Amino acid sequence: MSEQANVTIGDVRRVAELANLELTPEEEPRMQRDLSAILGHISQLNELDTENIPPMAQVGEILGGIVLENGETLRADVVRPSVDRAAVMASAPESDGRFFFKVPKVIER
Amino acid sequence: MESGSFTIESVRSAIAAGETTATAMAELHYGHIEAKDSQINSFLALSRERALSQAEKIDAMAAKGEVLPVLAGVPVGIKDVLTMQGAPATAGSLILKGYRPPYDATTVTKLEAAGAVLLGKLNCDEFAMGSSNENSAYGHVLNPKALDRVPGGSSGGSAAAVAAKFAVATLGTDTGGSIRQPAAFCGVVGVLPTYGRVSRYGLIAFASSLDRVGPFTRNVKDAATVLQVLAGQDHMDATSSDRPVDDYVSALNRPVEGLRIGVPEEYFGEGLDPEIRGAIETVLDGLKAAKCVVKPVSLPHTKYAIPTYYVIATAEASSNLSRFDGVRFGLRDAEAKTLSEMYRRTRDAGFGAEVKRRILLGTYSLSAGYYDAYYKKAQQVRTLLTRDFLAAFNEVDVLVAPVTPTPAFKLGEKTDDPLQMYLEDIYSVAASLAGVCGISVPCGETKGGLPIGVQLIGKHFDEATMLRVAQAVECQQQ
């Protein structure tokens, strides 16, 4: 079958920290196993020679369609109605009721 | 009139002729949902007030004898990753429990402007990540054609609602197969428009270079009708195309004689269920009888599509889902003492296992030291995969292929091994990466009564030709 990549629990923790996820001790070994299997499968890509192949981020690039040299397909830079601020703030878990979202303190001791 | 026999045109013309009203149509479908959906679990929220207000508008127009818009009175459901102002949008996740968006998705606006009656929001895999609708935080969805089986995913609710006749059409989304696969599993039509053909404004993003919005319907003509309403450039989505929109409905009945049909050999190898293979061979025989030219083609990089997809989609997802942090909307961990604790605890509580897995995979691929080996490599392979399609479309007009390697599997059958679940997407992800259009059309059943779908893949922006062939395939089923 496919090879397993050597993902350690340390790798899982490092990546979880980057992703702002806090896994429980029960979740970690499962995630290690799954990531190893999936990354092992993904390593097949190394079989291909991609020496002079341009990376493709957007379908439009390869079609020569959406080329934003002169901004032709961007909308005009004019002020238009946007979302209603009060409606947006109403969704906030905690706010000052007007403009600011409230969060726990940023600076940790 | 039994709700199963409704098409878009039959609903609209019955209302125009005074045989029924949009209000009666809406109530009939809500009644059906109330009676049967506790079993299927396709709807997460109903939008009765909005639906009945729209129905009233349509009825007033009909009473005055005004010309009714193309989707007048047609009951439609919306996948819960698309925003409807004031209605809940959960994306199938706990992290958006209680969230009500302050705006409509462009596709929602367009459907309503065309007269559609929006019944409510449909269940889906969390953040559109899944192939079975078993990853929703709000319960799994059952396949109306076989209640011990999955409807497919991630647009499981959207496919099931059409199959169960809770709606005449629904909107779903497809990132790696999430319209085509549930359409095949549930025995309905599902369209994957070309990337950029339909606006993504108001779609809660999973993978921005892959996500597409598209319709589920019970027949090809309805699919073409809905696609016509949805297609077109939207200045709120900078990735939407300014290419003019073809007339999809007129194109449908043009004969398919002389069209070149490609059969990609890589899609018919080991692992394809023999009953599915047989059904597709019958479709190809029918197209030959209709005087299409059927020829083998090769998409040589097909086997690399799954690993490419799972690097790119998860990398984009890890970026897109970073906005769910408890600050501005949705779930927030109330116990956290510091901001970073709040981020971590909110996300840990709010995201399910599959979402976490994909975020971690994506973060890994993008992290320092791994970016070139994984993400950049995958983007280069994406170019190779796209070139495969462009080369094939120099020889043929439409490709015919399976949608899935198997018919609908049983609930719980693939949940232990994520990689096994990912391999279900084997015939759908290459088209997703290349940006081309696709459709799943029902083409029979297994001996056990499970629906089988055939996938047609068309050139970029050539939905018209693809739909024409789809119509021919559908006619042959009758």
Structural domains present in chain A: 1-48 (1.10.20)
Token digits for B143? 């396949």
Query: Is B1 a residue whose pLDDT tops 60?
Result: no
Query: Is A71 a residue whose pLDDT tops 60?
Result: no
Q: Which residues of A touch B329 (CB under 8 A)?
A: 91-93
CA dist., res. B207 & res. A80, Å (int): 27
CA distance B380 to chain A (A): 4
Is B318 in CB contact (< 8 Å) with chain A?
yes
Is B422 in CB contact (< 8 Å) with chain A?
yes
Per residue in B31-40, is it b (16+ CB within 10 Å) or e — as a string?
Answer: ebbeeebeeb
> What 3-state DSSP class applies to B348?
helix
CA dist., res. B462 & res. B469, Å (int): 12
Query: Is B115 a residue whose pLDDT tops 70?
Result: yes
Query: Is A65 a residue whose pLDDT tops 60?
Result: no
CA dist., res. B181 & res. A80, Å (int): 39
CATH of B3-251, one of 3.90.650.10, 3.40.50.300, 3.90.1300.10, 3.90.226.10: 3.90.1300.10
- Residue A76 pLDDT grade (very low, low, confident, very high; cuts 50, 70, 90): confident
Whole-complex ipTM:
0.90
Closest residue by Cα to residue B236 from A66, A81, A63, A87: A81
CA dist., res. B427 & res. B180, Å (int): 10
Out of B103, B308, B390, the one facing A45 most closely (by C-beta) is B308
Residue A75, pLDDT score: 74
Is B345 in CB contact (< 8 Å) with chain A?
yes
Q: How many CB atoms lie within 10 A of CB B294?
A: 15
Amino acid at A31: M
Report chain A's terminal Cα–Cα distance, integer Å: 49
Query: Is B3 a residue whose pLDDT tops 70?
Result: no
Residue A73, pLDDT score: 61
- Residue B417 pLDDT grade (very low, low, confident, very high; cuts 50, 70, 90): confident
pLDDT more than 70, % of chain A: 82
pLDDT more than 90, % of chain A: 60
Is A93 in CB contact (< 8 Å) with chain B?
yes
Residue B339, pLDDT score: 94
pLDDT more than 90, % of chain B: 94
Closest residue by Cα to residue B152 from B457, B474, B450: B450
CA dist., res. B135 & res. B147, Å (int): 17
Across the interface, whether the CB atoms of A20 and B344 are under 8 A apart is answered yes
- Residue B280 pLDDT grade (very low, low, confident, very high; cuts 50, 70, 90): very high
Token digits for B415? 């949940």
**Dihedral Cα B282, B286, B292, B296, nearest 10 deg:** 10
Over range B463-473, report the average pLDDT. Answer: 98
Is A67 in CB contact (< 8 Å) with chain B?
no
Closest residue by Cα to residue B378 from B205, B207, B180, B192: B207
Query: Is B4 a residue whose pLDDT tops 70?
Result: no
Query: Is B281 a residue whose pLDDT tops 90?
Result: yes
Q: How many CB atoms lie within 10 A of CB B50?
A: 18
Chosen from A2, A12, A45, A82 to mutate, greatest number of chain B CBs within 10 A: A45
Residues B170/B147, Cβ–Cβ less than 8 Å: no
CA dist., res. B474 & res. B189, Å (int): 10
Q: In the predicted model, what is the mean pLDDT of chain B?
A: 96
How many cross-chain Cβ pairs, A to B, lie less than 8 Å apart?
Answer: 184
Q: What DSSP element (H or E) covers B79?
A: strand B75-79
- Residue A11 pLDDT grade (very low, low, confident, very high; cuts 50, 70, 90): very high
Across the interface, whether the CB atoms of B357 and A34 are under 8 A apart is answered yes
Out of B236, B306, B329, the one facing A91 most closely (by C-beta) is B329
Residue ranges of the domains in chain B?
Answer: 3-251
Over range B22-34, report the average pLDDT. Answer: 98
Residue A1, pLDDT score: 42
> Higher model confidence: residue A69 or residue B442?
B442
Task: Characterise B257 by phi-psi region: left (phi > 0), alpha (psi -120 to 50), beta (else).
Answer: beta
